[in-house]
Amino acid sequence: MVKKIVLDITGMHCASCSTLIDRALNRLDGVTANVNLTTNKASVEFDESKISVNELIEVVKKKGYGACEIEQTDFKKDAKKKENEIRQLKNEFYTGLVFALPTFILGMFFMNNPVPFQNYIMWILASPVQFFVAWPMYKSAINALKGFSANMDTLVIMGTSAAYFYSVYAVISGMGHQYFEASAVLITIVVFGRLLEARAKGKTSEAIKRLVGLKPKEALVIRDNKEISIPVDEVVEGDLVIVKPGEKIPVDGMIVEGQTSIDESMVTGESIPVEKSLGDEVIGATINKHGYFTFKATKVGANTTLAQIIKLIEDAQGSKAPIQRFADMIAGYFVPVVLVIAIITFSVWFFIVGADFRTSLLASVAVLVIACPCALGLATPTAIMVGTGKGATNGILIKGGEALETAHKIKSVIFDKTGTITKGEPEVTDVIAFEKPREEFLILAASLEKGSEHPLAEAIVKEAEGLSLKSTSHFEAIPGHGITGVIDSKNYFFGNVKLMDINKILYKKHVENIQRLEYAGKTVMLLSDGRKLLGLIAVADTIKDSSKQAVKMLHDMKLDVYMITGDNTRTANAIAKQAGIRNVFAEVLPEEKAGYVKKLQAKGKVAMVGDGINDAPALAQADIGIAMGSGTDVAMETGNVVLMRDDLLDVAKAIKLSKMTMSKIRQNMFWALIYNTVGIPFAALGFLNPMIAGGAMALSSVSVVSNSLLLRMKKL
């Protein structure tokens, strides 16, 4: 049985750390793992018959890192842990600064005119930095060596230890120059860089923090005919919950008394309040504006829409984009290659060039320090975290790095018609009875349709409101054609012309009338008793206000736009024309939609936009499935992107967001690679001392994270 867990990883400092753990886990039989440096978590899928959770944790520990399973992310605990991490780094930095600064002053400004016992004073000052401030690095490096591996801490510790212990030898022996200031300042700079990085990384997950902060703490419920206030976590399904004006709705539910308007912008990004009344669904953490109402709790705890959104975003931010594999590959070989380059650098300077020990040592230490692949490791995950977070605040939920990367490659967008391009709220426009009175004809049609869940059926039943409908037996829905059923012992057929053709019902003399209605963008349904045509009903579903503008935006982005529908060609073309769509697939059965998607994939990447229910096969077939909906369970589970508000403009915005995020990733990776490509040769040639190298290393990581954060300021 395949099980999915999340491991909380401690001790990771750079891309080589995360790559090391990633490779170790993925080498195991039946294990698929994804280790994220930014979140310090590993998502692991594994076969329980082949390996246990404890064995997975043990593999991580053998590589020199800590690990434990977490059932569900405790965001408060995570925040506390990050605060503690930042506090610890602050303490280490200030301690380092107190001792490193006088060491630096003595070493740099009193070199020619030393104070009494200067070397011993510098030895005393540098020692707390080397063995207290740098102790976490020593621990990490030692643990990595125990696992026959190396990481960034290995590079820093090798470089600073070489400088420190040579200096100790120089002081004791009275021979040569000491470099206490180099090791002390370098360690302090590295810690300072990690402090800045930790602060910047914390900002990348602010979207989740905001969502978690939306959750109300208390709920007013009715129990034993009494109103009592309880913690939200204690609300159970079936509880009757009272909400007063201005309050946040505690959990998801259905209104049983009262009416109101609700601000659902936290879910949909739409600022206009939504009117709600008896029977309407409400979403937890949204804000009640004016009314006083009671609702029945239907989803609580981890099942609420808010909890699902948070989980979806967290999974997305913990995922990897395919482009990350390139960075992981480089990081995996980086540390051992750098160690070799550092040894070669020292050897060339000392043995070939004939430089003194000091020059040779400092050049090799500079190589070790500047080669940190942190910036490379942060390039992709920080951009993905910010990108998915920005999407979430705009009602666009992107399920992972792969979806985010694929979306910018889209060449064609296919829209379902009903409920996607159109409002999905059709109305009866024409009722034409040939033999029976209009009312009697409408009763027959509505009686047949009352057993159907199709939007067109709902429109017909609504039109017959107030009439006495008849009981129907042997009801059968024929996908793509219509329905059949028995009323008063008579068999009736109600559907499109295809259904009439199948059952050999003559309708030719009414063709002109049918076509006239279809050219007007109406869907025409014909009713027959099996012998003759009794009449027809036309239903119109108007396009959404944003459909035309959304299609234009996609055309402006040089994308091909298609509409797919089971409706007849004339009606489909009429709707498509209103929306500005030139390419139409009409009279397509639900099960055939995926086939049309597959055909278009031969020309390039395809996005399918549907309602997340009847379009599921097509959404699954597409390179990117975009589910329209207001947070329904099906929509959440279907497709790669979920649009929380039914606004087609968000389709273009999702693709635009993908393009912006990928642009940031490319920028980050370019600068990270340039930094290492240029920095290592400069250090090896002696143009950089270790302290400048340490500063450059810290700056590179912070600049990558800061560049990703700039994405939040971009307009969609």
Q: Kindly list the catalytic residues.
A: 416
Rg, C-alpha atoms of the chain? 33
Residue 643: strand pairing partners:
396, 628
Contact 297, 235 (CB under 8 A): yes
Neighbours of 586 (CB within 10 A): 18
Residues 429 and 527: their CA atoms lie apart, in Å, by: 16
What number of H helices and E strands is found in the chain?
25, 26
Residue with tokens 């630096």: 104
Neighbours of 708 (CB within 10 A): 29
Strands 218-223 and 41-47, sheet pairing:
unpaired
Residue 542 backbone phi and psi in degrees, to 5:
-75, 150
Residues 94 and 85: their CA atoms lie apart, in Å, by: 14
Residue with tokens 């948070």: 310
Contact 462, 431 (CB under 8 A): no
The closest of 684, 680, 675, 155 to 368, measured between CA atoms, is: 155
Question: Residue type for 510, please?
Answer: H
The closest of 207, 285, 290, 211 to 252, measured between CA atoms, is: 285
Residues 570 and 563: their CA atoms lie apart, in Å, by: 13
Residues 152 and 369: their CA atoms lie apart, in Å, by: 8
Contact 255, 269 (CB under 8 A): no
Residue 257: strand pairing partners:
294
Residue 355 backbone phi and psi in degrees, to 5:
-70, 165
Residues 40 and 51: their CA atoms lie apart, in Å, by: 22
Residue 416: strand pairing partners:
564
CA distances for 389 relative to 235, 498, 585, 645, 672, angstroms: 28, 47, 35, 16, 23
Which three-class secondary structure state does DSSP give residue 189?
Answer: helix
E strand intervals along 529-686? 533-540, 560-564, 583-585, 605-610, 624-628, 641-643
Residues 158 and 353: their CA atoms lie apart, in Å, by: 23
CA distances for 345 relative to 355, 357, 685, angstroms: 11, 12, 8
Contact 497, 567 (CB under 8 A): no
Question: Residue type for 264, please?
Answer: E
Residue with tokens 């980086």: 334
- Buried b or exposed e, range 149-186, using 16+ CB within 10 angstroms: bbbbbbbbbbbbbbbbebbbebbeeeeeebbbbbbbbb
CA distances for 674 relative to 270, 322, 400, 484, angstroms: 42, 21, 27, 69
Residues 327 and 382: their CA atoms lie apart, in Å, by: 13
Which three-class secondary structure state does DSSP give residue 529?
Answer: coil
Residues 658 and 655: their CA atoms lie apart, in Å, by: 5
The closest of 165, 156, 225 to 192, measured between CA atoms, is: 156
